[in-house]
Amino acid sequence: MMWFFLSLAIISELAGTISLRASDSLKRKLWLVAIVPGYLLSFVFLSVALSEGLPLGVGYGIWVACGVALTAVSARILFGDPLTLRMAFGVLLIATGVLLVELGTAAR
pLDDT the model gives residue 19: 94
- Give per-residue pLDDT as tens, 90-102: 999 998 988 888 8
Q: Report DSSP state, residue 23.
A: T
Extents of the domains making up the chain: 2-106
pLDDT the model gives residue 25: 73
- Whole-angstrom Cα distance, residue 49 to residue 106? 17
Q: What is the CA radius of gyration of the chain?
A: 15
Mean pLDDT (whole number) for 75-100: 93
pLDDT the model gives residue 5: 98
pTM of the model: 0.87
pLDDT the model gives residue 89: 95
pLDDT the model gives residue 29: 81
Residue 107 has pLDDT above 80, yes or no: no
User: What SS3 state is found at 9?
Assistant: helix
For 80: left if phi > 0, alpha if psi spans -120 to 50, otherwise beta; the answer is left
Burial state string for 70-99 with b = 16 or more CB within 10 A and e = fewer than 16: bbbebbeeeeeeeeeeeeeeebeebbeebe
Residue 16 has pLDDT above 90, yes or no: yes
